[in-house]
């Protein structure tokens, strides 16, 4: 693998083939049984126009919603080696649903696919979580082939979100949205693990993102039931012992995202950490735009998966803006040894949350020594956090640049301008080579929405700081003008005392207050700290301290 490989090339079928060695024994001509609905054969709508209820609970005669389901729009949504998914209408409830069914020809060739689909429906139906697509009903077509209905998700896959960036990676907003979706996927997978279910086929295609922020982990067709205890374990009423799902010889999943123990067919070693590996593989694709196991052909991809060979994201894509911390999270999840990975999906979720909260998803910029980062008076669209190096802030005071402060790692500047939509109040220059985290106005507003109380507080504080700066400017400017007026008066009518010119202070102070339209106290404040004049309180005079 080389870093110069094209980024947007279509995925190699060798990488995304779902391998089922048990199924291959039935002389399947494809790369394997793909339960993820990739490459499903086209199915005529007439084959599913009349649906009979499928009784999975012996002794009950309750009518099934499947019995009333009729196809008014059999638009095919997806297809794969086992069957197809269609968009159909339920007239009883008045809603559109998704219907997944077994392809009749496949069912005749490989009877176990019917068992697998029934198990998928029963397993998924018992995983009641906001980020897992709910199953509505289970039934059969006139030929007795199983099918089930589920929530119709209007949206796109995580694959589409990942592919929506430019060739150098994702913008901060894109990265935030993708990671938020991945966090929700981690929570759904963690819930399934708590019920004793391992997904075994996690990949971007199996994470759906709805048009209103909904996130769903879909396609549990490869799921493996683990765990013990009636209160924890998901149960199935169909018996598929010896099928590809439970056979020790079976290798189910998608090779490009598969954990080493899963790729080696070590069924007993597959646990929650195998799904953690796949989640890490998804994160890897977020960073590099390709899955971790992509060889020149199916055999090479499988060999990479079995060995757990993964090229570091920054090595694969050195020209991408890849946050180092996020790359470390991905590589830990992708550790070849399960004990070296995050030990649960929740641990991985917490790492992603910490990354997001720390702002590490924001881009970094480098400035050379002497380079101006922001200029006084310019409009601001970003704030900065110093990662390394030293910066100096300065302002024009009485026509000359004056240093205000020096800043080092961890300090922030530029935030007032983007919070109050006002010009920059100072110039900031790199004193050494510096690395800065860039916080754009869009990113800041995403963290501090206008309706939130903390956003209101931040804007109010920024406005007050801005007003304090204006007052300080007014005092500074007044001070210069007052000192100039004192110099003119003392030089014109002062007397020499101890080699210095001086004049009575009280009458001059009163006259200056009247002339500038301020209080006498303000005149005192304007004089305090001035280097050109000094007040002698005991003698009641003001002296020129410089010629």
Active site amino acids: 201
The two beta strands, 83-90 and 75-79, are: antiparallel
> 308-343 as b/e, with b when 16 or more CB fall inside 10 Å?
bebbbbbebbeebebbeebbebbbbbbbeebeebbe
Long-range pairs for 411-414 at CB < 8 Å and ≥24 separation?
411/385, 411/386, 412/383, 412/384, 412/385, 412/386, 413/374, 413/383, 413/384, 413/386, 414/374, 414/380, 414/382, 414/383, 414/384
> 370-388 as b/e, with b when 16 or more CB fall inside 10 Å?
eeebbebeeebebbbbbee
Cβ contact 37:219 at 8 Å: yes
DSSP SS3 for 523: helix
The total number of residues shown for the chain amounts to 547
The two beta strands, 52-53 and 135-140, are: antiparallel
The structure tokens listed for 467 are 């007003």
DSSP 8-state class, residue 510 = H
Residue reference for tokens 């009423």? 237
- If one counts every other C-beta atom within 10 angstroms of the C-beta of residue 96, the result is 15
Q: Is the dihedral of CA 143, 145, 150, 154 positive or negative?
A: negative
How far is 118 from 140, CA to CA, in rounded Å?
Answer: 10
Cβ contact 102:143 at 8 Å: no
How far is 369 from 362, CA to CA, in rounded Å?
Answer: 23
């Amino acid at each position: 693998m080389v870093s110069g490989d094209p980024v947007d090339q279509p995925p190699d079928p060798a990488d995304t083939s779902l391998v089922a060695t048990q199924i291959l024994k039935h002389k399947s001509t494809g790369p394997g049984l793909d339960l993820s609905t990739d490459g499903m054969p086209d199915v005529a709508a007439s084959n599913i126009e009349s649906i009979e209820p499928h009784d999975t609970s012996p002794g009950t005669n309750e009518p099934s919603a499947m019995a009333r389901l009729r196809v008014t729009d059999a638009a095919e949504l997806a297809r794969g080696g086992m069957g197809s998914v269609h968009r159909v209408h339920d007239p009883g409830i008045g809603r559109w649903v998704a219907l997944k069914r077994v392809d009749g020809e496949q069912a005749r060739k490989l009877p176990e696919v019917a068992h697998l689909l029934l198990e998928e429906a029963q397993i998924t139906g018992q995983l009641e979580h906001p980020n897992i697509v709910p199953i509505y009903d289970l039934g059969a077509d006139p030929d007795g082939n199983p099918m089930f209905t589920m929530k119709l998700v209007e949206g796109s896959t995580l694959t589409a979100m990942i592919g929506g960036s430019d060739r150098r990676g994702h913008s901060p907003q894109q990265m935030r949205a993708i990671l938020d979706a991945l966090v929700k996927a981690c929570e759904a997978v963690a819930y399934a693990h708590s019920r004793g279910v391992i997904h075994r086929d996690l990949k971007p295609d199996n994470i759906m993102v709805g048009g209103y922020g909904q996130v769903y982990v879909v396609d549990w067709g490869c799921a493996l039931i683990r765990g013990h205890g009636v209160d924890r374990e998901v149960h199935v009423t169909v018996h598929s012992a010896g099928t590809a799902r439970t056979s020790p010889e079976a290798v189910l999943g998608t090779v490009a995202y598969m954990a080493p123990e899963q790729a080696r067919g070590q069924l007993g070693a597959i646990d929650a950490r195998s799904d953690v590996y796949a989640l890490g593989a998804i994160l890897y694709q977020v960073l590099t735009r390709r899955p971790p196991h992509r060889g020149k052909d199916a055999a090479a991809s499988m060999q990479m998966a079995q060995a757990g060979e993964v090229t570091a994201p920054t090595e694969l894509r050195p020209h991408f803006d890849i946050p180092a911390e996020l790359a470390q999270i991905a590589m830990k999840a992708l550790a070849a040894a399960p004990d070296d990975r995050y030990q649960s999906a929740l641990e991985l979720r917490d790492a992603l949350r910490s990354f997001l909260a720390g702002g590490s998803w924001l881009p970094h910029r480098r400035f050379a020594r002497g380079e101006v980062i922001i200029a006084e008076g310019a409009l601001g669209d970003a704030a900065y956090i110093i990662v390394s190096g030293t910066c100096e802030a300065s302002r024009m005071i009485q026509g000359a640049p004056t240093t205000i402060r020096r800043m080092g790692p961890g300090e922030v500047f530029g935030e007032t301008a983007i919070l109050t939509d006002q010009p920059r109040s100072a110039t900031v220059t790199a004193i050494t080579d510096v690395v800065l985290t860039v916080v754009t106005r869009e990113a800041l507003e995403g963290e501090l929405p206008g309706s939130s109380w903390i956003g209101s507080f931040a804007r109010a504080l920024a406005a007050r700081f801005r007003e304090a700066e204006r007052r300080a400017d007014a005092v500074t400017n007044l001070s210069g003008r007052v000192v100039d007026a004192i110099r003119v008066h003392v030089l014109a009518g002062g007397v020499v005392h101890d080699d210095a010119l001086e004049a009575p202070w009280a009458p001059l102070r009163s006259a200056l207050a009247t002339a500038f339209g301020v209080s006498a106290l303000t005149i005192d404040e304007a004089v305090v700290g001035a280097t050109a004049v000094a007040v002698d309180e005991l003698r009641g005079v003001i002296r020129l301290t410089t010629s």
